[in-house]
């Protein structure tokens, strides 16, 4: 359920982590310690240390609420597409410019399709379903106990 903490409102992530931490078995201590050090910040006497990755960097609660992508998968896809078109490890400047021109042409086509309101290809059904379910759970955050909320989100990730 640790990944589901990304769907908790930012101000409540630490409290939710502490509740989740209490329910975890002792075998999970290494994973809990790593998560706390890296994403939450280790508890010291009267404060928490600064985590390597602050909550604001990895929290997606607001993105789900605004129906924005939660991952950078589209960027990864674009990068793979560019890499496939370059076809060499050390391209010369002319090959690189040729690939950029081709990418510009594809971008122009995509812009024209958006202007013409040509619908984008639909997501796979299972991703649509899980995204809709997670959005419904996140919308109803206030009406759930933290552990039930985390369990619901984790089940649909």
What b/e sequence results for 92-107 when a residue is b if at least 16 CB atoms lie within 10 Å of its CB, and e otherwise? Answer: eeeeeeebeeeeeeee
Q: What is the pLDDT along the chain (157 residues), one digit of tens a residue?
A: 898 999 999 889 999 999 999 999 999 999 999 999 999 988 888 888 999 999 999 999 988 888 777 777 777 888 888 888 887 788 888 888 988 899 899 889 888 988 888 777 777 777 778 888 888 888 888 888 999 999 998 988 8
Q: How far apart are CA 69 and CA 61, in angstroms?
A: 11
The confidence score (pLDDT) of residue 33 equals: 92
Interacting residues of 136 by C-beta distance below 8 A, sequence separation 6+: none
**How is residue 122 written in tokens?**
């639909």
Look-up: residue for tokens 């909320």? 149
Two structure tokens written together for 119: 């619908």
Return all residues near 114 (Cβ < 8 A) that are at least 6 apart: none
Quick one: pLDDT at residue 156?
86
pLDDT of residue 157: 82
Q: What is the pLDDT of residue 129?
A: 83
pLDDT at residue 124, rounded to an integer: 79
Q: Is the pTM of this model over 0.85?
A: no
Q: Where are the beta strands (DSSP E) in the chain?
A: none
According to the model, what pLDDT value does residue 79 have?
82
CA 12, 14, 19: angle at the middle one, nearest 5? 95
DSSP, res 9:
-
pLDDT at 132: 86
Residue 43: DSSP 8-state: B
């Amino acid at each position: 359920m640790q990944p589901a903490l990304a769907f908790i409102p930012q101000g409540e992530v630490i409290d939710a982590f502490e509740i989740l931490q209490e329910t975890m078995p002792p075998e999970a201590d290494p994973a809990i310690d790593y998560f706390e050090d890296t994403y939450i910040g280790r508890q010291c006497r009267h404060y928490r240390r600064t985590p390597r990755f602050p909550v604001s960097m990895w929290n997606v609660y607001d993105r789900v609420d605004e129906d924005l992508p939660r991952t950078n998968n589209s960027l990864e896809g674009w990068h793979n597409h560019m890499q496939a078109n370059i076809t060499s490890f050390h391209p010369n400047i002319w090959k690189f410019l040729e690939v950029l021109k081709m990418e510009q042409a594809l971008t122009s086509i995509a812009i024209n399709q958006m202007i013409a309101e040509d619908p984008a290809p639909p997501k796979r059904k299972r991703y649509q379903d899980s995204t809709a379910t997670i959005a419904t759970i996140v919308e109803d955050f206030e009406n759930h106990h933290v552990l039930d909320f985390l369990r619901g989100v984790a089940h649909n990730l």
